[in-house]
Amino acid sequence: MKKKFKIINGNIITESAILSNGTVFIEDEKIIGIEKTNIPTSDFEEIDAKGNYVSPGFIDIHVHGGGGHDFMDETEEAFLHVAALHAKFGTTSLLATTLTADKEGILKTLDVYNNVHFKENKGAKFLGIHLEGPYFSLNQRGAQDPAYIRDPDPKEYMEILERSSYIKRWSIAPEKRGAIELGKILSKRGIIASMAHTDAVYDEAKLAFENGFSLLTHFYSAMSSVTRKNAMRYAGVVEAGYLHDELDVEIIADGIHLPKPLLKLIYKIKGPDRIALITDAMRGAAMPNGVYKLGNQSNGMDVNVEGGVAKLMDGTAFAGSTATSNRLISTMTELAEVSLVDAVRMLSSTPARMMNMNNQIGSIKKGLDADIVIFNNELEINRTISKGSTIFTS
């Protein structure tokens, strides 16, 4: 028998407006209708939103861990625990993200993902793998382990690409020797090539954009801007992001990585259809203050989490974040003064479009997956629904 239910008395957040006191009809895994009122039915179970917001599920395309686990721990337990943890905060889909590591560490993480992709998962859905590194600028490494940073090696990256069909995105410094060729290969395979941890000047970023790079990883963070060489000024990757309208950007909207003026500037220039909000969360997300490993539990880098901020032990760089998805919405609406509709769009339909999955997820529309979050005015999550099944309720 098909599972039928409807969410009533909700303020439904669409891509352009909020539908007050609306109703969402769901059958099995799909949304089958949205109405302005509660149409009487006899065979639909009711979920009363009680005047709270009914939103598309949040899509986090850059997350490393949370709740004491990291995807680089190389265990299925870690993957499933992180997915369950972020579901509590409204995330219904995520890209499991790696860190710079040796080839063996990357391959083992891919092997674990290959096994866990189709396993029963009571948390956020896995959309695939996002490889962050190891082909980065040493100068812009941030919290990436310098011991593993290197140039793209065709023999190595082809072995990595052949190891898993679930690689959906790869973050690379485009100025590295061989990076443009790798970008071309990724683009042909339908994998997002993203500029990251980069010291590229504008012309190098422009060349990368022209050869398949379509996204800028954690915009501004570990990324070149205006520099001077021999008294001459050169634009950087940040300026390329602004000048090329078709370039997408993602931002860590935790209220820490980017101050209010920059959040407002990015929104003003790029707009909600080109910005994805990300947590970049590490294992210290939703955990108390303390020292945590960034990356693999046994050989990762020590990170100090204090007051909700994750930094390297010497304090020289942020080391991911402790943000959860609902915090991103709060930051954008309260600090950046963005409308709730646009803030939600940057965490739902926009990342879905970037992933070329907007015909499946990212909006409350007929025919799309029933990925839905119900939350109150304080952005507290009441219920998270993934493909028609409740995966968290408060």
Cα(78)–Cα(93) distance, integer angstroms = 16
Distance CA 292, CA 105 (A): 19
Instruction: Please indicate whether residue 245 is annotated as part of the active site.
Output: no
Q: Can you state the percent helix, strand and coil of the chain, rounding each to 5?
A: 25, 30, 40
- Strands (DSSP E) contained in 235-349 are 248-252, 275-278, 290-294, 301-306, 309-312
Q: 47 forms bridges with which residues in the sheet?
A: 7
Of 280, 342, 369, 371, the active-site residue reads 280
Kind of pairing, strands 30-35 and 18-27?
antiparallel
Q: Which residue has the tokens 């060349």?
A: 207
**Among the listed residues 361, 350, 357, 301, the one whose alpha carbon sits nearest the alpha carbon of residue 328:** 350
- Which residues pair with residue 61 across a beta bridge? none
Examine residue 152 and say whether the peptide bond preceding it is cis (omega within 30 degrees of 0). Answer: no
Closest CA to 142 of 291, 319, 12: 319
The residue ranges of DSSP E strands in 14-147, in sequence order, are 18-27, 30-35, 45-48, 53-56, 58-63, 65-66, 69-70, 91-97, 125-132
Active-site positions? Answer: 280
